[in-house]
Structure 1
Amino acid sequence: MAEDRADTRTRTVIPQAIVRPPTAAAEDEAAAFLARHPEVEGIDIVLVDANGIGRGKTIRAHELAALYRQGRFLPGSILGLDIAGEDVHETGLVWDDGDADRVAWPIPGTLVPQAWTNPRRAQVQLALHELDGSPSPADPRHALLAQDARLKAMGLTPVGAFEIEFYLLDRQRGADGRPRAAALPLTGEQPQTTQVYQLEPLDRLEPFVADVYRAAAAQDLPLETLISEYAVGQYELTLHHHADIARAADDLVAMKRLLRGVAARHGMIACFMAKPFADRVGSGMHLHASLNDPDGSNVFADAPDGSLSPLLLDAIAGLLDTLGQGMLVAAPHHNSWRRFASQSYAPTHATWGINNRSVAVRVPASGGAARHLEHRMAGIDANPYLVGATVLAGMAHGIAGRLDPGAAVTGNAYDAPAGEGDVPAPASWAEAIAAAARSDFLAEALGLRMRDVLVALKRAEHARFARAVSELDYALYLETV
């Protein structure tokens, strides 16, 4: 009889139940938000990939509770996309596991309204986890959290704030077909000259700036000083510091989304290329960082005699010692490397100094209990989570090894003679990719899996550029060779 026959079929094992990670936002956050914001019709759910690009979906308001209750399935390959959004199979995140789903969970405190949208939408940032609740190693935010935990295990809590430089460009290109600075909305005039620190351009940006600050207030985003920077159409914004370094990076991600959204509605492009113009300065992402002890006191604070803290000097030495190995994080794209030029306010040497903007690691003039360091190497096109992870790892490296940074540079660091270890190696994007692939420091700072995913993505991006035939190729070679 049929029931007496042995079943020789392969046994199918049902996958384990989904495990909710302890870091996921509480379920009641969603209900409380919708009660406060009944006007919200949709929510952008945002997962930041290795390139710093927010990817995800727009869900309807009635789907939000389920996201908070059970997470949202997303393919692991979403973290294996290149800058153009195409699969990079070498990441191991595509067909190696059949493009398997992971689970994205909302990050606490990141569910906020997008005040510039109509009908009104909100946004929430996500972190990707494996089905068992463990962090997905290719999610860059987890790399920053791991380095934060490493320093906390040493009794030190990272405190950080980002400042960013960016260009506001017109959606309509100039007569030469090239991007041009955005017209000032109050007067319609086209900026023509560099007016660093001038207030009139900011005044004539008023409709845009007012919308930016209103949208930031709606998101409880700590935007602070706005500056007219050192190029036509370039600006700088700062964020208030956090004793939660991951939240500081979350704020930067949210700020870039906000600037893009508001700019688009004013006929502008908020441009976060490191070097959009050959004859103008590039745009940086500066991380201001310090460390607190268990009592909340700043261990980088000046000594009673006014001298710099030994721990601050150790941290600076660690950053300089590891700077070369982290260059692919600080300068991740082809365009990134155009930013490093003499007299450009972008560092070109692995140097440090006090109250000196020509160095890679600056100790700002504000001292005493507020003393901190400023890491100036990264461009605005870098991923803030990966930048934060490498900065924290470099600081920990210097503190653990009690390293010596050497003498501070005084005067113009661009004119400083290059000595051994003085100029950051690698010196090009291709060299940076190769160096990252063999870097033990980067494997420790980001996690081996994250490092290898980053390298695979950058190799694919580099190959895309190598294949491309540019307008300059035609201009130089079309009829001359």
Structure 2
Amino acid sequence: MPAPNGALPEEAEAFLAAHPEIEAIDIVLHDANGIGRGKIIRRHELMGIYTGGRHFPISILGLDIVGEDVHETGLIWDQGDGDLRAWPVPGSLKALHGTQPARGEVLMSMYHLDGSEMRSDPRHALARQVAAMAAEGLSPAGAFELEFFLLDPDTAQGVRPAAAVLDGRRSDWTEVYSVDHLHGMEPLFSDIYRAAEAMGIRAETVISEYAPGQYELTLDYRKDVMQAADDLVRLKRIVRLQARRHGVVACFMAKPVEKYAGSGMHFHVSLCDASGRNIFAEAQEGTWNDPLRHALGGLRATMAESMLVFAPHGNSWRRFVGQSYAPVSPNWGVNNRSVALRIPVSPLAARRIEHRPAGVDANPYLVAATVLAGIRHGLKNRIDPGPETTGNGYADESAEAAAIPRDWREAIAAAQGSAFLRDALGADMHRTFTAIKAAELDRVARWIADVDYALYLHTV
């Protein structure tokens, strides 16, 4: 049967002809947690993926963070764990850099056997919001920022920054914006850039960030938000693989070290009309227009019930600390890194919103889908964003700030009861995602952590 998403066998034929050295291909489907799951196929199997898809069990989209079935998703025994059909995402077949033997990678998306979308696939959730925008005459563009830690693989002395791969030099200082410090990781970053280029990902600036061992990679602004999300998930995989090849660990936890800043996944987004004009660009600089204000209003109004998407794990909530560059209330401001919704300094034509709540552990497809839905909500209902926050956004003590969930448990409850989030993600994706999060909360609640022994073993 022809691929329901338009994937063509000619793409595979051209790839195989251009890469006679490639022996195998990773076929990768991303689940609710953004984890790439799939198979490694041999070269001779690739054409069959494009002409007939590949059967995957439906349960692959109902797994928790450690790969265990979550029965409450309804995707396991309720449906007999039957097979569905995954199809390659058009244009996503690429060569991997530095693998021995040589391998390729292709992204996959899940469909029912009759060719209809399997709506617990996060890519379909984002595609629905992009399509809804298109029906309203709008086209979203955007880019994600990727913050992460490079850590020593030897944890016998605790979690600590990785030594420089160039010469083994070690620093336990923050080293924020230090160019000389970046030189120590230059061989690793060179491989990351080469691998990104092989995948058509325009990775740009690298920064030594605001914690020992923390770095940031920025990505080129994409006119296609789906492409921006694809770039992010693939870049994470590239960084993790190349770090392993250089003997260090790439960590994408939101808050791996207690006393230092966590890692965000800021999402920059703008909207263009049918003529290609950025509708957020004001006529006179600094006089914010209604579309921008209403988009901010919608994002503020829906942020509390959406926080589980932006902070999906227990560790995610450790990132939200005052004076940490992670937002703690749904405020907005201009050129201000203490707020949740920032309007960066930019030329008028590049006017955009920087959405800052999401941690790097979030699923970019779900983040983008939720942000677009929030913007649509604001535009449709002409929601006023309230006054701009100036100065220290961490001093916000408004009722709106207090309404944000205080922890993971509250965020799960807010998401479960949210009609907005159900519509933003689609009913199937909403059910799947919230069921997985509730199951993970139960797993963590049962876990007897080291802190229990430290506090209570000899005292109670």
Which portions of structure 1, spanning 4 or more consecutive aligned residues, are displaced by more than 2 angstroms? 422-425
Residue of structure 2 in register with 1:151 after alignment: 133
Choose which of 275, 285, 304 in structure 1 pairs with 2:265: 285
- Are the structure 2 counterparts of residues 387 and 67 from structure 1 closer, same or farther at C-alpha, using a change threshold of 3 Å? same
Q: Does 1:20 align with 2:26?
A: no
- Give the gaps of 5 or more residues in structure 2: none
Amino acid at match of 1:391: V
Q: CA deviation at 1:156?
A: 0.6
SS at match of 2:229: helix
Is contact 1:116–1:261 with CA below 8 Å preserved after alignment? no
Is the deviation greater in 157-166 or in 108-117? 108-117
Amino acid at match of 1:183: A
Residue of structure 2 in register with 1:5 after alignment: none
Q: CA deviation at 1:261?
A: 0.6
Is contact 2:140–2:272 with CA below 8 Å preserved after alignment? yes
Q: Distance in 1 between matches of 2:219 and 2:237?
A: 14
Amino acid at match of 2:339: V
Residue of structure 2 in register with 1:452 after alignment: 431
Residue of structure 2 in register with 1:262 after alignment: 242
SS at match of 1:318: helix
- Are the structure 2 counterparts of residues 307 and 68 from structure 1 closer, same or farther at C-alpha, using a change threshold of 3 Å? same
1:381-460 alignment runs, 5 A limit:
381-416=361-396, 418-460=397-439
- Are the structure 2 counterparts of residues 397 and 38 from structure 1 closer, same or farther at C-alpha, using a change threshold of 3 Å? same
Q: Does 1:219 align with 2:199?
A: yes
Q: Distance in 1 between matches of 2:306 and 2:457?
A: 39
1:37-52 alignment runs, 5 A limit:
37-52=19-34
Amino acid at match of 2:37: R
Residue of structure 2 in register with 1:8 after alignment: none
SS at match of 2:401: coil
SS at match of 1:409: coil
Q: What do you get for the CA RMSD once the two structures are aligned?
A: 1.0
Is contact 1:19–1:133 with CA below 8 Å preserved after alignment? no
Q: Distance in 2 between matches of 1:131 and 1:97?
A: 14
SS at match of 2:399: coil
Residue of structure 1 in register with 2:358 after alignment: 378
Is contact 1:350–1:424 with CA below 8 Å preserved after alignment? no
Is contact 2:3–2:50 with CA below 8 Å preserved after alignment? no
Q: Distance in 1 between matches of 2:269 and 2:384?
A: 19
Amino acid at match of 1:51: N
1:61-210 alignment runs, 5 A limit:
61-174=43-156, 176=157, 178-210=158-190
Is contact 1:43–1:123 with CA below 8 Å preserved after alignment? yes
SS at match of 2:77: coil
Residue of structure 2 in register with 1:53 after alignment: 35
Is the deviation greater in 275-284 or in 183-192? 183-192
Q: Distance in 2 between matches of 1:194 and 1:285?
A: 20
SS at match of 1:323: helix
Amino acid at match of 1:439: S
Q: CA deviation at 1:367?
A: 3.5
Amino acid at match of 1:66: G
Q: Does 1:337 align with 2:320?
A: no
Residue of structure 2 in register with 1:6 after alignment: none
SS at match of 1:280: coil
Is contact 1:169–1:180 with CA below 8 Å preserved after alignment? yes
Is contact 1:302–1:367 with CA below 8 Å preserved after alignment? no
Q: CA deviation at 1:422?
A: 2.5
Q: Does 1:240 align with 2:220?
A: yes
Residue of structure 2 in register with 1:10 after alignment: none
SS at match of 1:52: coil
Q: Deviations over 1:130-182 (max 9, x none)?
A: 111111010011000000111111111000100011001111225x3x12111
Residue of structure 1 in register with 2:449 after alignment: 470
- Are the structure 2 counterparts of residues 62 and 319 from structure 1 closer, same or farther at C-alpha, using a change threshold of 3 Å? same
Percent of paired sites with the same residue: 55
Q: CA deviation at 1:306?
A: 4.3
Is contact 1:363–1:372 with CA below 8 Å preserved after alignment? yes
Q: Does 1:298 align with 2:281?
A: no
Q: Distance in 1 between matches of 2:313 and 2:287?
A: 39
SS at match of 2:78: coil
Q: Deviations over 1:305-336 (max 9, x none)?
A: 64122101110110000000101100000100
Q: CA deviation at 1:55?
A: 0.1
Q: Which protein has the larger Cα radius of gyration, Structure 1 or Structure 2? A: 1
Is contact 1:352–1:359 with CA below 8 Å preserved after alignment? yes
- Are the structure 2 counterparts of residues 458 and 306 from structure 1 closer, same or farther at C-alpha, using a change threshold of 3 Å? closer
Q: Distance in 2 between matches of 1:448 and 1:305?
A: 41
1:289-328 alignment runs, 5 A limit:
289-304=269-284, 306-328=286-308
Q: CA deviation at 1:96?
A: 0.5
Is contact 1:46–1:56 with CA below 8 Å preserved after alignment? yes
